[in-house]
Amino acid sequence: MKISKRSEAPRKATLIWSRGPCGPFQAPTRSKIGTFKAYIERQAAANRDFCEKLLRAKDFQDAFRIQVEFFQSQLKAAAEEATQIGAKMAGSFKQTG
């Protein structure tokens, strides 16, 4: 009898979690997977370009300049992505509200 109660606990916890304050759990859609894949590909390409430039640096100042440019580009990309995420969230609140 105790074994069956223990085996039900994970199922109940999953049901409670899936109906939590954020609504039912939704599996990622193809568009979300595609968006994530594109993001990873952009990051990999940016990292590869950064490494190639860094390997070709002539001196310490050149290497430091390359690092600063890469860091600035990463900050700019993060700010743009945060803006897009904020716009999507605002749009979803308008749809549900």
Summarize pLDDT for 42-81 with one digit per residue, the tens: 999 999 999 999 999 999 999 999 999 999 999 999 999 8
Classify residue 50 by burial, with Cβ atoms within 10 Å: 0-12, 13-18, 19+: middle
Give the residue extent of every domain in the chain: 29-96
Global confidence as pTM? 0.61
Q: Say what angle helices 30-55 and 60-96 make with each other, to 10 degrees.
A: 170
Look up residue 76 and give its two tokens. Answer: 């700019």
Instruction: Kindly state the average pLDDT of the residues 84-89.
Output: 85
Determine the pLDDT at residue 15: 58
pLDDT digits (tens, 9 = 90+) for 14-47: 655 555 555 555 677 888 888 889 989 999 999 9
